[in-house]
Amino acid sequence: MKLNKEQQEKLISKLNQVWKNKICDVCSTNNWMIDDTLFEIREFHGGKTVLGSGAIKPLITLTCAGCGNTKFMNAIQLGLVDPKNPDGEIKEGGQDE
Ligand SMILES: [Zn+2]
């Protein structure tokens, strides 16, 4: 799932806040590619594919352009995905929080 404009801006500002050490721990360069797509990892069910149940974590990937080292950042923790409204549907007619 692609990040929308608002999520992309939030991602950049949040990364600027929390990402202090940008030197790659594998190749010691500092050249990261930040993907504007959300990925997910899902709960392991012992080799069976179980769709629609179990825990899923939405992730942002940061990939080192030098060596391919890939970091995962939790998109809920970064504030990009609301766990109560994971599809990011905008409700018409005001906020309901
Ligand atoms: Zn690297």
Between 24 and 45, name the one with better pLDDT: 24
pLDDT, residue 95, reads: 45
Between 64 and 90, name the one with better pLDDT: 64
Q: Residue 81 and residue 54: Cα distance in Å, rounded?
A: 18
For residue 22, how far is its CA from the centre of ligand 1 (angstroms)? 10
pLDDT, residue 97, reads: 45
pLDDT, residue 87, reads: 76
Per DSSP, what are the bridge partners of residue 56? 42
For residue 52, how far is its CA from the centre of ligand 1 (angstroms)? 35
Q: Are 24 and 67 in contact (CB under 8 A)?
A: yes
Count Cβ atoms below 10 Å from residue 91 Cβ, excluding itself. Answer: 8
pLDDT of 15 over the 60 cut: yes
Instruction: Compute the C-alpha angle 61/86/80, nearest 5°.
Output: 45
For residue 95, how far is its CA from the centre of ligand 1 (angstroms)? 43
For residue 74, what pLDDT band results from cuts at 50, 70 and 90? very high
Which of 20, 21, 38, 35 lies closest to 65 in space, CA to CA? 35
